[in-house]
Structure 1
Amino acid sequence: MTEGGEERGGDAPGVPATRRNRLRSAALWGAIGGFAFLVAAQGYLLVGGSFPFGYARLFGLAAVVAVAAAALAYVTEHRIARRGAKRRT
């Protein structure tokens, strides 16, 4: 914080995000979704479960989950941010 109580380097609340920032955020959420799926699958295998397909399909399925998570994050991010801004005022 600066002396006047304002933060440096961040966007002011209520300022819409740029398309580039929304795409970056969605890509990161997609990566998180894909890796979380792989972690859950590994945990399932560690406790004794098995899949009826190999690792190649597992990674393909993780890619599908990542794309779905990224798309969902991109579509809903502005709605969630707008709802949070309404509640703060």
Structure 2
Amino acid sequence: MADGNGDGESAHVGDREPTSPEVPSAASRAQSAALWGLVGGFAFLVVAQGYRLVEGSLPVGYGGLFALAGTIAVASGGITYATEHRLHAKRRT
């Protein structure tokens, strides 16, 4: 069965043309951003703990490390929330 464009290829009933990607909902983006924020904060704490094990000390105490980890978590979550929909629209996720 010809598909009507004259090139002689057959059309399949189950074939679909590529569609544009669905934009994730705000709740989905917020959840993803929160999880990436946690990953960023915990990754910082892991690196800081490894440095403490190898080198011995840091110029800040544990309270300062947790404050920095919280700042990094908020920043990475915010950056993720702001850019995820753009990457998804370009099909890079």
Q: TM-score, normalised by structure 2?
A: 0.74
Q: Write out the 4+ residue segments of structure 1 that deviate beyond 2 Å after TM superposition.
A: none
**Structure 1: unaligned runs, 5 residues or longer:** 5-11
When Rg is computed on C-alpha atoms for both structures, the one with the higher figure is 2
Report the AA paired with residue 51 of structure 2.
Y
1 or 2, which has the higher helix percentage?
1
CA, structure 1 residues 17+54, in 2 after alignment: closer, same or farther (shift >3 Å)? Answer: same
Match of 2:62 among 55, 58, 72: 55
Identity %: 51
> 1:61, 1:76 → 2: CA distance?
22
RMSD of the TM alignment (CA)? 1.7
Alpha-carbon displacement from aligned partner over 1:17-65 (angstroms, at most 9, x marks no partner): 1100000000000000000000000111111242112100110000000
- Matched with 1:22 is 29
Mapped pair 1:39 → 2:63: no
Tell me the matched-pair count: 75
**Structure 2: unaligned runs, 5 residues or longer:** 1-13
